[in-house]
Chains A and B, each alone.
Chain A
Amino acid sequence: MDSDSIVEARGLNHWFGSGDVRKQALFDVNLNLKRGSFTVLMGPSGSGKTTVLTLIGCLRAVQDGSVRLLDHELNGASEAELVALRRRLGFIFQAHNLHESLTAAQNVMMGVQVHGGVPDRLAVEAATHALGLVGLADRTTYLPANLSGGQKQRVAVARALVASPALVLADEPTAALDKDSAAEVVDLLKRMGEARGTTTLLVTHDNRILDRADRILTLEDGRIVKVEERE
Chain B
Amino acid sequence: MSRLLQRLFGRLPIGWLQLTHNRTRFAAALAGVAFANVLVFVQLGIMNSMGAATLRPYQFFQADVMISAGDANSLTDGGNVARQWLLQAMADPDVADGMGFFIANVPWDRGDKDISLTTFGVDPAKPGFLAPEIAGDLSLLQVQDAAILDRLARGLGKEEAAAIRPQSPLSFETEGRTVTAYATFAGGGGFGGDGYMLVSDQTFLSLFPARASAAPDHILLTLRPGAQVEAAIARLKTLISDTSLRIRSYEQAAEDDLRYQQTRRPTGIIFGFGVLIGVLVGLVIVYQVLSTDVADHLREYATFKAMGYGPRFFLGVVFEEALVLGVMGFVPGLIVGTAILTVMGRITTLPLAMTPSMAVTVFLGTVVFSALSGAIATRRLAAADPADLF
Contact = CB atoms under 8 A, between A and B. Distances in A.
A86 B308 CA distance: 5
Contact of B12 (A50, A97, A106): A106
Interface string B294-324: 0001011011101111100000000000000
Contacts of B302: 97
A222 interface: no
Contacts of B4: none
Which of the listed residues B18, B307, B309, B387 has the most CB atoms from chain A within 10 Å of its own CB? B307
Interface string B4-26: 00100001101001101100000
Given A99-B14, A101-B18, A110 B389 contact: no
Nearest to B22: A101
Interface in A84-113: 84-89, 91, 93-95, 97-102, 106, 109-111, 113
Contact of A83 (B300, B303, B310): B310
A60 B387 contact: yes
A176 interface: no
B390 A171 contact: yes
B21 A86 contact: no
Nearest to B3: A120
Q: How large is the interface on B (under 10, 10 to 19, 20 to 34, 35 or more residues)?
A: 20 to 34
Nearest to B307: A114
Nearest to A103: B17
A193 interface: no
B69 to A, nearest CB: 68
Nearest to B19: A101
Contacts of A98: 300
A57 interface: yes
Contacts of A59: 306, 386-387, 389-390
A53 interface: yes
Interface residues of A, number: 33
A53 B390 contact: yes
B390 A86 contact: no
A54 interface: yes
Contacts of A85: 308
Interface in B274-308: 297, 299-300, 302-304, 306-308
A198 to B, nearest CB: 16
Contacts of B297: 99
Contacts of A83: 308-310
B58 to A, nearest CB: 57
Given A83-B308, A100-B21, 12 more contacts: A54-B390, A83-B309, A83-B310, A87-B307, A95-B389, A99-B18, A99-B303, A102-B14, A102-B17, A106-B12, A106-B17, A114-B308
Interface of B: 6, 11-12, 14, 17-18, 20-21, 297, 299-300, 302-304, 306-310, 386-387, 389-390
Interface of A: 50, 53-54, 57, 59-60, 80, 83-89, 91, 93-95, 97-102, 106, 109-111, 113-114, 120, 159, 171
